Amino acid sequence: MNQLLTRQQADLVALERRLVLQVRDTLSHAGGPRADLERLAQLVTEMDELFLLVVAGEYNAGKSTFINALLGDEVFAMGDLPTTRVISILRYGETGPPEAVGEHTRIYRYPLDVLRDLEIVDTPGTNSIERMEEEITRGFVPRADLVLFVTSLLQPLTASELDFLGHIREWGKKVIFVVNGVDRRNSDEQIGRVREYLAHEVRTRLGGLEPTMYFVSALRALRRKLAAKGAAQTDDAEPSSTERGDECAELERYLIETLRETERVQLKLLSPLGVLRHLLERNLAAIRSRRTVVQEDGNVLRAVRDQLEGYTTEMRTDSERYLLELRASLSQVERRGRTWLERNIRVGNINLLRNRDAVENRFRNEVVADAPREIEEVVHRMVDWTVGRNLKLWTAVFAELDAHTARLRASGALGAHGDSEFQYNREELFARLRQPVERRLGDFNAEAEARGVVESMREAVAHAFGVNVLALGLGAILVAVFTTAALDLTGVLTATLFAIAGWFIIPARRRQLIRDLEEKIAKLSADLSALLAAKFQEQLARYEQQLLEVIQPYERFLETERAKLERAVTEVEAARREVDGLEQRIVGAFPG
């Protein structure tokens, strides 16, 4: 059609083509469904094709009869049962057998002049029991430049017609109503009543302008033309008179003259904009619902983080309680140590002090006493409690994720756009988020875990205090730490000291030794409590990290997705404004 356009119109076509491509890019960035992108690619090609006048309506409405009447020939099959089964495109050319294009389209040719400028499409009727055929017709609607909607005078606007009209309207198509069967009217008033009814219902139920309507009898028009043709051949033609109330001739004039000459170019330019607008709206809705999903996912992750934070804070405060118990035990050791030293490091005790085993035994029984067992017990309690709380944390996280999935599924947010890349990535990541939680819970063996933690503490103590007895439990290690280490390091147990036991006679020497021992015990006790506290913090940090590692990839995904969706919304909204702007220019370019 390009050669027939004015310069201004050609510019508009170029602008429109660019806009279609731009919208395709926008939707492609926005992760729009493949079908939409394909529709847009096709739209570019369709812009170069002839104007498509699509005749649609329910089965048996008289669509094929109407087209035949227009042609004055029985090109399309007519009948009382669902008759037209495929999209039938009527194109200019010599008559011949129709040509099948794919499964659902057939091309017919007919040498009628008007077909040089537009193609007429007969479609399978809607609302028959052939649901597939309705789908074919619905699928073809986006391609129409103008829809002739054939309905029946005896049953104007059924519920299913209204639904189908809604679909046509969604794609922004201009519709002309053809009310067929006026030959079957009971009275002339019937036409007026139906006209009013239709105008009112279409206006209120579908919104928009006053509908354009033509009341016709397709069958009578066809018969008249066929008779005229026959008469012309036999040379006794009756002058064709238009029946009262039958607007077939006006409609024909509109289609063959007005449409062909002026309106066609404008409609042809406007129709891609309707498609763009519809696709943009639809995708905008999808993007918004995706944004809701991202927000909700984000809320869940925040809830998980809150759980984790709550857990960590609770651990920090409650662990103080256990560490206090621990320090209490240790200060008992210090106190007992002081008394013991005062009582035993004296000259009168020289024989005992010469006996290394005896010293060790007494020190262990009287100073170290129950402390290692107490400490071991506190450590076990502390670890058991930490591990138990950690199990509770993971259980809560799992419940949170589960409830979230159930909520999304119930709201329909999941699977609503299952073909999109977003949906795919999200489900995969969500599964990756859920699996480790599930696995952690499935494998959780609180006893073994607690044993492991205590074991690592035992190793740390043995290592830090140089007690090289791997097979012993924490309690035994502590006994060794206090007895051997304390006594050894101060020299109480060394032979040299005993050799010069005379030292004890010098009061200053004695005091010094007692002070050394006291300091040693205090230091051991401080070191030990710091070590256990550090080990405990380490364990907490590990637990924290474990959960963070699970949720962080998903948090990052959501962050990227959120940014992407924001950008998509902005771009889609901008494209929609451009569609509006171009529409105004097109309308303005065709005065009248």
Ligand X SMILES: Nc1nc2c(ncn2[C@@H]2O[C@H](COP(=O)(O)OP(=O)(O)OP(=O)(O)O)[C@@H](O)[C@H]2O)c(=O)[nH]1
The SS3 of residue 51 is strand
* Residue among 217 and 307 whose Cβ is closer to ligand X: 217
296 binds, among ligand X, Mg ion, none (CB under 5 to 8 A by kind): none
Residues that bind Mg ion (CB under 5 A): 63-64, 83-84
* Residue among 83 and 319 whose Cβ is closer to Mg ion: 83
Minimum distance, C-beta of residue 192 to ligand X, in the bound complex (Å): 18
CA 513 to CA 345: how far, in whole Å?
A: 9
Contact 84, 121 (CB under 8 A): no
Minimum distance, C-beta of residue 106 to ligand X, in the bound complex (Å): 13
* Residue 7: other Cβ atoms inside 10 A: 7
Q: How many residues bind ligand X (CB under 6 A)?
A: 23
Question: What DSSP line would sit under 417-451, residue for residue?
Answer: TTTSHHHHHHHHHHHHHHHHHHHHHHH--HHHHHH
Q: Using CB under 6 A, which of the segments 19-27, 78-86, 261-269, 548-556 binds ligand X?
A: 78-86
Minimum distance, C-beta of residue 556 to Mg ion, in the bound complex (Å): 57
* Residue among 137 and 319 whose Cβ is closer to ligand X: 137
First-to-last C-alpha distance (Å) of the chain: 21
- Regarding 139 and contact with ligand X (CB under 6 A), the answer is no
Minimum distance, C-beta of residue 77 to ligand X, in the bound complex (Å): 7
* Residue among 217 and 386 whose Cβ is closer to ligand X: 217
Q: What are phi and psi of 90, to 5 degrees?
A: -100, 120
* Residue among 91 and 585 whose Cβ is closer to Mg ion: 91
Q: Which of 121, 148, 213, 219 binds ligand X (CB under 6 A)?
A: 219
Q: Which of 31, 32, 181, 372 binds ligand X (CB under 6 A)?
A: 181
CA 315 to CA 201: how far, in whole Å?
A: 69
* Residue among 83 and 386 whose Cβ is closer to Mg ion: 83
Tokens of 102: 């794919």
Minimum distance, C-beta of residue 186 to ligand X, in the bound complex (Å): 13
**Antiparallel, parallel or unpaired: β 87-92 and 118-122:** antiparallel
80 binds, among ligand X, Mg ion, none (CB under 5 to 8 A by kind): ligand X
Query: Which of the residues 82 through 121 are near ligand X (CB under 6 A)?
Result: 82-84
Q: Using CB under 6 A, which of the segments 160-168, 211-219, 254-262, 377-385 binds ligand X?
A: 211-219
* Residue among 98 and 491 whose Cβ is closer to Mg ion: 98
Query: Which of the residues 303 through 322 are near ligand X (CB under 6 A)?
Result: none
Using alpha carbons, select from 161, 166, 158, 155 the residue that is nearest to residue 194.
Answer: 155
Tokens of 399: 């419940």
Q: Using CB under 6 A, which of the segments 73-81, 95-103, 493-501, 523-531 binds ligand X?
A: 73-81
- Regarding 79 and contact with ligand X (CB under 6 A), the answer is yes
Tokens of 126: 């809607």
217 binds, among Mg ion, ligand X, none (CB under 5 to 8 A by kind): ligand X
CA 108 to CA 67: how far, in whole Å?
A: 12
SS (H, E, C) 82-133: CCCCCEEEEEECCCCCCEEECCCEEEEEECCHHHHCEEEEECCCECCCCHHH
- The distance from CA 541 to its chain's CA centroid, rounded to whole angstroms, is 32
- Regarding 78 and contact with ligand X (CB under 6 A), the answer is yes
Contact 190, 181 (CB under 8 A): no
Q: Which of 43, 46, 108, 125 binds ligand X (CB under 6 A)?
A: 125
Minimum distance, C-beta of residue 27 to ligand X, in the bound complex (Å): 34
Question: What DSSP line would sit under 171-229, residue for residue?
Answer: TT--EEEEEE-GGG-S-HHHHHHHHHHHHHHHHHHH-SSPPEEEEE-HHHHHHHHHHHH
* Residue among 65 and 283 whose Cβ is closer to ligand X: 65
Minimum distance, C-beta of residue 93 to Mg ion, in the bound complex (Å): 21
Q: Which of 2, 80, 317, 471 binds ligand X (CB under 6 A)?
A: 80
Minimum distance, C-beta of residue 78 to Mg ion, in the bound complex (Å): 6
**What does the angle CA 49 – CA 50 – CA 53 come to, to the nearest 5 degrees?**
125
Q: Rg for the chain (alpha carbons), in Å?
A: 45
- Regarding 31 and contact with ligand X (CB under 6 A), the answer is no
Tokens of 543: 């637990």
Using alpha carbons, select from 438, 65, 6 the residue that is nearest to residue 217.
Answer: 65
Q: Which of 88, 127, 217, 271 binds ligand X (CB under 6 A)?
A: 217
* Residue among 105 and 312 whose Cβ is closer to ligand X: 105
**What does the angle CA 48 – CA 51 – CA 55 come to, to the nearest 5 degrees?**
140
Q: Which of 61, 379, 524, 582 binds ligand X (CB under 6 A)?
A: 61
Q: Which of 64, 151, 386, 539 binds ligand X (CB under 6 A)?
A: 64
Query: Which of the residues 416 through 475 are near ligand X (CB under 6 A)?
Result: none
Minimum distance, C-beta of residue 61 to Mg ion, in the bound complex (Å): 8
Residues that bind ligand X (CB under 6 A): 57, 59-65, 78-80, 82-84, 124-125, 180-181, 183-184, 217-219
